[in-house]
Chain A
């Protein structure tokens, strides 16, 4: 199909709109309210062009590109005078009330409004009246509100409410006084609020932590990176200046995160600048354990020598980490030997991850990308609160639920991008989604059915649905309903995960998927997906997957006395071992060497600590939940004496004259060695180009071509101009020189294009709107799937184990929180503020029985400890279950499945209110 734009013939796709067609053709047609992921509403009127009836028509009429569907042979003009005049008039009216403060505005330099204003050529202001002004709101620690800049494009409201399912931000008032905000000041409730920063075409919603140490976009040094906040593996573009990580922006990957991140991913990297980062190696009491020993800072070389002395020729165990890169884990395993390497998973985590990997290796079901999940027409969630365990996936599920409305729209011949029309047509009709979980989840609001069961009962339920698909009838009506929903769907998605640490649930989900696929044969594409605990859980799991008898962490603790030293890689064991097991590791004679980046109790109890670089200061490969290996690159060089953990390990190997690692000196060599070590890692070298990559002879620049002050950046410290750091490990350079255009998708540090300074320049990097990046087509896609299923299916012999519950005791179940549960991001001030206090979550009846209300305290007693925790009251919960906040300091020692007793904390008194900002003081005045 073709259309003509100013006489030029343009190849277009059926069903798309003229704005998309123009952008795909590389034409500059300005727009505001249209968003590639959210479609059109036609409110800003900016993408106007002229449409002609036929070749003879010379007048034409103005149409909106975003609201006009392409038809074969249609004729348009972008440059006709009435079109350009109209577009300029639109900007002139938008500028009536817009502040004239670009030079001091936080958005300046990456403002879509600024770009579009320049693009339409508006310069002289004719309006002489007063500008409208608004009051700004406090929206929490993450988002800064500056309403005077608003151009009323409605993108924020549409993103926040329609796309992300939030309810506490919307359009208020009317005419030229429309106001986007909350009904009253307060913290934005959505876990995805940060995307407002990128969705807003100007500076109404800006990144608040970024404002505290602000830099212009063009002054940021960026590198392609991968979020380490959870197992989803969203692609990010962190920006640095003056040695500080300034902010994180979304990096488009059409198969993973698309245009959006969760707030943990966007704002959870503040820990990289934390005071609690280790700068130097620390040697405790000259290497002798004693209770009051303090660390002495030692030089890198001394640390290496000391460590080598403890390791060389000794019996050494290594503990890996699911948050460290595959390369670091691999090196550690090679250094200590396969049989001496423990993954560093807790035993329960290890079992679940092993199950997930084995399923992915054999399942007949499709292991979907996030993009594919968005096409599901029925969803069954088993045991997972996805918004809190794999947030970006939850956002995709919300989109999948709209497939019902697209179905209805198709009947009317309405294209999907007619966003308002499609929503008006479908109203609240959604595709079916059943959530079977122990308690409240953040997708409950859009579920068609909620079933509250304990983890064992979830597995039983899933088995019953399986049996029902295989022809066995069930007494439970819900079983039949779910079976019917799944078998009626064309693209059903079953999604589960590790958060309950129950391999039973995971296995039962796989059985169900197998049965469903068998039930419908090829007519259905059954999708099966799992959420995993950490950024590299899958990579680590794959590394140890072929071990016949993997060294479990608890067994390692027990045999600690038989070895001389233990080397811990980026792992706070307190999160995974009991107090008594920890005592075994740390109180014996075994030397403990820990590599990590932030202070924690594992480090505090070690003999030697080595400071490591964060994800933003190092490169490495992370394998996400779908087994997609993706590489992150250093944004800036690690400060002080920090090294990437793989560098520490290589140095240790060198000093120890380790034979197997003798030929390895560079990162790419580790990748190559690792790729050869196991067939599953064969594609590791194809994840991203190696350090020798050159684009037209040049490395990819981390700095923009406008990067300022490069030679004087440290002039306040020293007037001598330091040389630019050289990077011989990656295809990127610490430089402004080079091209940032259509390189491989895994090597795009930031997006910018002439005339397009904001993130909207992304479309210049895409092969088509909403489609893959040009670089992903030309070279390999962004990342590599490591697991390719044999599709043989597994013979499951499921035996669901039910915990025996005593009377008056409850089963303790983990509740994950976007803010607070993840180890590293919790060191970020803003995240810590949102995480608030550790809690125990009770059903209403239990709370009533204990005589406690939300916010009061309850004592939770396990076999060996008592903890007083704040109460959170749940709206639904399975019988005999209570939840606890995972990953908080106070609840670190609690374990999933613990049987606990509860009682009201009698010593707790409500805090006395002296003053309040809530409007009404306690005395009523």
Chain B
């Protein structure tokens, strides 16, 4: 497959600056849009392309943008585009790659997106630990200002946009778009109640679009080469290509750009090189720490949003975490629950106090001092915390996903912990 998002990225390639980016077809889409296309035209192309959000939820990008009120339906004032670069999902490192190695691709995507929705101010809300990405983005933005790609009257089009990099103080919840907006405003990073959605009342109460890095990186290519071209990239029902990653006990962990709809088996075996010798695949989290486990029977499923959804999980960020037969699934879930309990913003009760309770039950099980009632308590907690709507945002239901599927697929492991009075994987430890 032709590399699209990663055409300037590879083990042997240097990070691009403006010259290198332009030399490989950069800013063509931008020139095209600003000179020949109205924001409405751009929106149509993006809608037609069937691009879906790459941050995890897979919401159609064109539809999301269409909710931004047009000038005549909106009180006068700023509109904002925010890039969600707060990549904190366990096992996920795709956005980092895009920002560190090809910052201009993101910036061009953002200018185009901002132009489409009529935003005049844009922010890159970036994970604070991504110091290299922060520096490269800042350098790239400076280049853009110097060359007239940002600031007033971009490329003499009459369109103006300012762009700022905002390093996050660091919380997982900042990846939730409304918590991100609160953090950007200098408030506590608690998610907001929806509705109203940010498209109507977002940053500083103004219409705001928050998109993931990878989503935005797709925009220049779609604008440049059209919706039909983009649709042909996918192998299944979803359009475009996607960065897929694999971590865990595989021979060749990493991140690759592959067509949407690539089967899991292909990613795992062809690209990640299969399991390391002596390890068997027991299960995998297809899209980060807050997705349900899939098991070997699911290996031939295509990595498409709806296909993975139908199998009871979510494609999430598309970066898999592999569980092997020599690692304890209870310990893995406990580790994840610890993370989510730690990262709860503390706003709503089921998440703030429910997750630590779940953590404590899992700790009891893992340390072998649990009774069979503990499993009932877990089931009770999954019902209590796991449903969207029971909590204020999706963090706690997401945290419950690996747990509920682990209970489904690895129930025997849980039982053995209880009946044996110790973790079967850590005997004698």
List A residues at the B interface (Cβ < 8 Å): 41-46, 48, 61-63, 67, 82, 85-86, 89-90, 93-94, 96-97, 126-129, 151-152, 154, 171, 173-178, 408, 411-412, 414, 418, 420-421, 424-427, 429
Contacts and interface: CB of A to CB of B under 8 A. Distances in A.
Contacts of B384: 85-86, 89
B192 A176 contact: no
Given A61-B389, A421-B193, A421-B201, A175 B188 contact: no
Nearest to B173: A174
A33 to B, nearest CB: 9
The 9 closest A-B pairs by CB, nearest first: A93-B353, A178-B346, A129-B360, A89-B384, A425-B205, A175-B344, A425-B201, A174-B346, A427-B205
Contact of A175 (B195, B196, B343): B343
B358 to A, nearest CB: 10
Given A45-B348, A128-B364, A418-B193, 8 more contacts: A46-B349, A62-B387, A85-B383, A89-B350, A126-B377, A129-B356, A414-B196, A421-B192
B392 A45 contact: yes
Contact of A96 (B75, B356, B373, B380): B356
B200 interface: yes
Interface of B: 75, 171, 182, 185, 188-189, 192-193, 195-196, 200-201, 204-205, 341-350, 352-354, 356-357, 360, 363-364, 373, 377, 380-381, 383-384, 387, 389-392
A63 B388 CA distance: 10
B346 A152 contact: yes
Contact of A127 (B341, B345, B346, B360): B360
A215 B337 CA distance: 44
Contacts of B201: 412, 414, 421, 424-425
Most buried by B among A174, A425, A429: A174
Nearest to A175: B344
Contacts of B196: 412, 414, 421, 425
Contacts of B200: 412
A425 B204 CA distance: 7
Most chain A beta-carbon contacts within 10 A, residue among B75, B193, B200, B377: B193
Given A424-B192, A425-B196, A176 B346 contact: yes
Nearest to B343: A175
16 contacts: A43-B348, A85-B383, A86-B390, A90-B350, A96-B356, A126-B373, A129-B363, A174-B189, A408-B75, A412-B200, A420-B192, A421-B196, A424-B205, A426-B205, A427-B185, A427-B204
Nearest to A97: B353
Contacts of B353: 93-94, 96-97, 152, 176
Contacts of A427: 185, 204-205
Contacts of A82: 383
A63 B392 CA distance: 11
Contacts of B356: 96, 129, 175-176
Contacts of B350: 45, 89-90, 93
A90 B349 contact: yes
B184 to A, nearest CB: 12
Contact of B352 (A61, A178, A421, A425): A178
Contacts of A129: 356-357, 360, 363
B182 to A, nearest CB: 8
Contact of A174 (B171, B357, B390, B392): B171
Nearest to B69: A412
Given A175-B342, A175-B344, A418-B193, A43 B357 contact: no
B180 to A, nearest CB: 13
Contacts of A414: 195-196, 201
B104 to A, nearest CB: 33
Contact of A42 (B189, B193, B342): B193
A375 B188 CA distance: 30
Contacts of B343: 175
A296 to B, nearest CB: 65
Given A425-B201, A427-B204, A48 B390 contact: yes
A45 B390 contact: yes
A154 B349 CA distance: 11
A96 B182 CA distance: 28
A414 B195 CA distance: 9
A426 B201 CA distance: 9
A42 B348 contact: yes
Contact of B354 (A43, A93, A420): A93
B344 A128 contact: no
A127 B356 CA distance: 10
Nearest to A157: B188
A176 B205 contact: no
Contacts of A93: 349-350, 352-354, 357
Contact of A62 (B182, B357, B389): B389
